[in-house]
Amino acid sequence: MVVASARILFDKLADIRETDTLVFTNELGLTIEKNPIEINVKRGANGKPILTEVVV
């Protein structure tokens, strides 16, 4: 059961795959390693990628 998730936004089209491990440090200095649950590319009206959204 998932109780919390994080949404990370990257500029333009980021080369991130479901098999990658993302490592980040929160405000308390705790380092967290997670695999992406969902990867979405947000595109503009012209079809070019604006953001890559990664849910962990």
Residue 16 near residue 55 (C-beta atoms within 8 A): no
Sign of CA dihedral 25, 18, 4, 1: negative
Q: What is the reported pTM?
A: 0.77
Structure tokens at 34: 């997670």
- pLDDT tier at 2, thresholds 50, 70, 90: low
* Total domain count, the chain: 1
Q: What is the pLDDT of residues 19-52, one digit of tens each?
A: 999 998 989 999 989 999 999 999 999 999 999 9
Q: What is the pLDDT of residues 9-20, one digit of tens each?
A: 999 999 999 999
In a domain, 22, yes or no: yes
Q: Which pLDDT belongs to residue 53?
A: 96
In a domain, 1, yes or no: no
Cα angle 46-7-45, degrees, rounded to a multiple of 5 = 10
Q: Which pLDDT belongs to residue 4?
A: 72
Residue 20 belongs to domain spanning: 7-55
In a domain, 2, yes or no: no
Q: Which pLDDT belongs to residue 16?
A: 93
In a domain, 25, yes or no: yes
In a domain, 15, yes or no: yes
